[in-house]
Structure 1
């Protein structure tokens, strides 16, 4: 590795540690490379920035982000909450169990963990505190349950990974169902154990009547069908992921009008939120595309692959090293940025070791999800703490058992491929 590329990496890390916006940090370090490297035409910089956002598969991102925003303003979120309350109301932990299940169900609708965390921090945490749950516990449950969101289709992370590594987004969606459900069950068990120890009560102890069940379930049936329609239509080859995203937006608007809760003012807010969220994602994509071009020109992926294959002769050791590396990276670098920079490096090496491409994709996305929760720069931690008023030190202390469970599940996912490829093999 020559001095210029080393300086480029150092500049990138320094800018990230200085909390410069991610896309500016990546663009700035890439621009330095273009200035210092003789014989490199600077017009390539502009071409890569523009070209990085022109992938057809990336069109799915604004559609699914818009769909998630519409869900929050059309009354669908409240109907999902009522349905989750019915399912988990008698379980130990009550509202904490509702919190986890709502994240899982909303993951199939919003695709954004930050949007999910912000919504539940406002909607559920105050209710949990009134029911006797501590603020740190309520905040941690909200943040950790939001980790499920990028794993459940149509998670934005899966769309990005698929477009970067040229992996079937439809297969990633199917795999995400299994992985996300596994994490949901694991977190619900952990919540039950902690709730039993602290004597957190269920929402109710009496059995529900058939009328109560019907009243809560009926309004949730149509929203819950949306993820099934998305995955089913992609699997059957009726639509592409991008077309499925546009169809999902239409479905969300129809449901909002049907429920008589989506007016012009709410629609305008949903559009504004979608433009803001999509812009922030695509700015990172554009910037990271330039950086990926720099890495490719300097043959960094090939050199790293040759070194790893020459040093490590076991794919299980390779996966262990990747997991540790990504967990550390996740503490400091935003998930989408790290994905666009590192996936072109790591995915070919994983393939050389014989690791299934869907299996490796879910390992990577799961690592990113944990990173969003991890200090010192975990975005989920800061979003939830900022809304609930929980102190960061209290959050970290309360989150220890949740971190341990998720890391254990990461290694289970890593060394038992069935959890990520079982559903894919069954359907494909």
Structure 2
């Protein structure tokens, strides 16, 4: 490893410390490497940045982003929320339970934790406050439940991880259901206990009748079919995970026109949001491609793997160390951005320890998400607090039991691989 790599790493750390956007910091450090390393044509920098973002697999990102945006403009969210209200109506916590279940079901539609957190903070938190639920508790529930979204297919994090680590995106989609359902069930149970203690009453006292269920379920049937169509189509070989994104857009558009809520203005605004979101993600991907090329050329992943194996001799200790490290990194760096640097390093090491790639992917993504929920710079915390005007101090105080729950779920995913791989092994 030559001196230019050391200087590049130092510049990268300085830029990140100065809170420069991650993709700018990575590209800037990469430029220094190409300038300082003799025998390398600087044109390779531009080539890697461009070719890295030209992968056909990456088309899944704008497709699913667009589908999720269009779903929000077609009244789908409101229909699913009404259905969730009926299902959880007799549970303590009222709209808090609706919040958690909505994040789980919307995970198959939006795919972005930050988008889900912002949407539910605007839609549900004011109503939760009106029902007597504290603002800080409502904000924490919204931020915590949004962590389920990237685990449920078609999470953007699943697509990015699959592209960077060369893991089947179809298998990652299916694997995400296990951790997502685990987190949803345990969170609803804990919120029910806390709400009962505080007197956050259910939305209704009467039992759910068949007609009540059907009346709320009927409008939500078609939106809820989207994840089934995606997983079924990919598994049966009807279309690839990338093509599934295009199918999702068509499906969202058909629903919008069918509900008569998707007009020219909504389409224009939806495409604008899609462009903005996709651009930010693809800049990260371009930076990741360049950085990965440098790491590969310098054989850094191989050296890192050898060092890890010489220091840590047990794969379970390795996984716990990765969990702690990713949570720490997630406190300061947005999840998708941290994949640029860390996936090329940790994925080969996990393979060397004999860890299933699907299992490691789920642990990696979930640990990253916990970091986004954690102070001092957790992005989920800042997004929800920014929308609800909740103070960070109150957020952290209310979030203590949620941290315990999240760490517990992470340990379950870490030490019980079947939670991630069981459904994959059955379907594949």
Query: For this structure pair, what is the TM-score category when the shorter chain's length is used for normalisation?
Result: over 0.9
Query: In 1, Cα distance between the equivalents of 2:359 and 2:210?
Result: 42
Aligned residues of 1:331 and 1:375 also touching (Cα < 8 A):
yes
Matched with 1:265 is: 265
Verify the 8 A CA contact 1:230 1:244 in the aligned structure 2: yes
What is the CA distance between 1:29 and its match in structure 2?
1.3
Secondary structure at the counterpart of residue 213 of structure 2: helix
**Counterpart of 1:213?**
213
Q: Is the 8 A contact 1:64 1:111 kept in 2?
A: yes
Q: Find the residue that maps to 1:117 and give its secondary structure.
A: helix
Query: In 2, are the aligned partners of 1:86 and 1:213 still within 8 Å (CA)?
Result: yes
Contact 2:287 2:340 in 1 (8 A): no
Aligned to 1:9: 9
Quote how far apart the aligned CAs of 1:311 are: 2.1
- How big is the shift at 1:210? 3.4
Report if aligned partners of 1:108, 1:227 keep a CA contact under 8 Å in 2: yes
- 1:63-118 deviations in Å (ceiling 9; x for gaps): 00000000100010000100000100110111000000000000011101111111
CA distance in 2, matches of 1:208, 1:427: 33
Please, which moves more after superposition, 396-405 or 139-148? 396-405
Deviates more, 1:257-266 or 1:78-87: 257-266
Query: Is it true that 1:155 corresponds to 2:151 in the alignment?
Result: no
SS at match of 1:234: helix
CA distance in 2: counterparts of 1:84 and 1:33, whole angstroms: 52
Tell me whether 418-427 or 372-381 shows the greater mean CA deviation: 372-381
Query: What is the number of equivalent residue pairs in this alignment?
Result: 428
1:229 is the counterpart of 2:212 = no
Partner of 1:343: 343
Pair 1:200-2:186 in alignment: no
Q: CA deviation at 1:15?
A: 1.5
Match of 1:175 in 2: 175
Distance of 1:196 and 1:3 partners within structure 2 = 60
Q: Hey, what's the Cα distance between the residues in 1 that align with 2:137 and 2:11?
A: 38
Check whether the contact 1:145–1:184 (CA below 8 A) recurs between aligned residues: yes
- Name the counterpart of 1:139: 139
Quote the Cα distance in structure 2 between the aligned partners of 1:351 and 1:287: 24
Cα distance, 1:386 vs. partner?
Answer: 0.7
What's the secondary structure of 2:150's corresponding residue? helix
What is residue 30 of structure 1 aligned with on the other side? 30
Give 1:36 deviation, angstroms. 2.0
Cα distance in structure 2, aligned partners of 1:254 and 1:5: 51
Q: Structure 1, residues 309-339: CA drift from partner, whole Å, max 9, x if none?
A: 1222211111111111111111112211211
Report the CA distance between 1:2 and its aligned residue: 4.3
Offset from partner CA, 1:371-417 (integer Å, 9 cap, x none): 22122221111111111001112111211111121111111100001
Segments of 5+ residues of structure 2 without an aligned counterpart are none
CA distance in 2, matches of 1:298, 1:288: 15
Secondary structure of 1:151's counterpart equals coil
The whole-number CA distance in structure 1 between the counterparts of 2:288 and 2:334 is 12
Q: Aligned residue for 1:330?
A: 330
Alignment of 1:390-405 (within 5 A): 390-405=390-405
The answer on whether the counterparts of 1:17 and 1:332 sit within 8 Å (CA) in structure 2 is no
TM-score, length of structure 1 as denominator length: 0.98
Counterpart residue number, 2:355: 355
The residue aligned with 1:290 is: 290
Single out whichever of 258-267 and 79-88 deviates more from structure 2.
258-267
Whole-Å Cα distance in 2 between the matches of residues 109 and 407 of structure 1?
26
Superposed, 1:6-155 pairs within 5 Å as: 6-155=6-155
Taking the aligned partners of 1:191 and 1:17, their CA distance within structure 2 comes to 36
1:208-262 Cα offsets, whole Å, 9 max, x none, are 3433322211000110010001001101111001111100100000011111111
Matching residue of 1:412: 412
Cα displacement string for residues 241-287 of structure 1 (whole angstroms, at most 9, x for unaligned residues): 11111001000000111111111111111111111001100101101
Shift of 1:149: 0.4
CA contact (8 A) 2:164 2:343 kept: yes
- Is residue 95–residue 203 contact of structure 2 (8 Å, CA) maintained in 1? yes
Structure 1 residues 396 and 3, CA, compared in 2 at 3 Å: closer, same or farther?
Answer: farther
Q: For residues 6-32 of structure 1, what are the alpha-carbon distances to aligned partners after superposition, in whole Å with 9 as ceiling and x for unaligned?
A: 222222122122221121111111112
Q: CA contact under 8 A between 2:23 and 2:283: conserved in structure 1?
A: yes
- 8 Å Cα contact 2:118-2:384 kept in structure 1: yes
**Secondary structure of 1:344's aligned partner:** helix
SS of residue matched to 2:149: helix
Q: Which runs of 5+ in 1 are unaligned?
A: none
Measured after TM superposition, the shift of residue 160 of structure 1 is: 0.8
CA distance in 2, matches of 1:34, 1:396: 43
